[in-house]
Structure 1
Amino acid sequence: MKVAGVLGVTILLALIFLSQWPILKKNKKKVKMAFLSLMLINWILAVLLVVFPDMPGPGQLVDFIYQSFEPFWQ
């Protein structure tokens, strides 16, 4: 079942890529590299969430970071 999830995420990101790539400017290499790197990071995170669904999310990271400042707010 995880293979279907990974395949679904891959297809979804491929559709996003194919719809947005022609819109990017032809001579803007930095914009294209940023787009490709963000797409790769998104794919990796999505696949990790499919394979490890109990993985802590970014909200829990923010809670962990700001938890140390809690004594100053009271």
Structure 2
Amino acid sequence: MKWAGVLGITAVIIVMFWYDWPKMDRKWKRERTVFAVLTMVGGILAILLVFYPEMPGPTQWLATLYKPLAKLLGIS
């Protein structure tokens, strides 16, 4: 059943590319690159969440990242 989720995510990404890519002017190299990279990163994260639903979210990552800074500043 997890593979159905992966196929669904892949289908959504393909539709996004199919719809948005032709609308971007060929001169917009940076915009096209950013669109492709962000879409792929989002797709990879979505697929990872299908297989590992207990994976920590972005707020937990930020809390772990800033915990030493909070201790240093005496905030927590």
- Please indicate the TM-score interval, normalised by the length of the shorter structure: 0.7 to 0.9
Relative to structure 2, which stretch is displaced further, 37-46 or 21-30?
A: 21-30
Calculate percent identity across the aligned residue pairs.
Answer: 36
For structure 2, the 5+ residue unaligned runs are: none
Q: Residues 30 and 70 from structure 1, CA distance in 2 versus in 1: closer, same or farther, beyond 3 angstroms?
A: closer
- The structural deviation recorded for 1:67 is 2.3
Match of 1:56 in 2: 56
Matches within 5 A, 1:1-74: 1-71=1-71, 72-73=74-75
Other structure's SS at 2:53 match:
coil
For structure 1, the 5+ residue unaligned runs are: none
CA distance in 2, matches of 1:5, 1:32: 26
- TM-score normalized by structure 2? 0.81
Counterpart of 1:73, as a letter, is: I
Runs of 4+ in 1 over 4 A off after TM superposition: none
Counterpart of 1:70, as a letter, is: A
Relative to structure 2, which stretch is displaced further, 46-55 or 28-37?
A: 28-37
> What number of residue pairs does the alignment pair up?
74
> Please, what is the CA RMSD of the aligned residues?
1.6
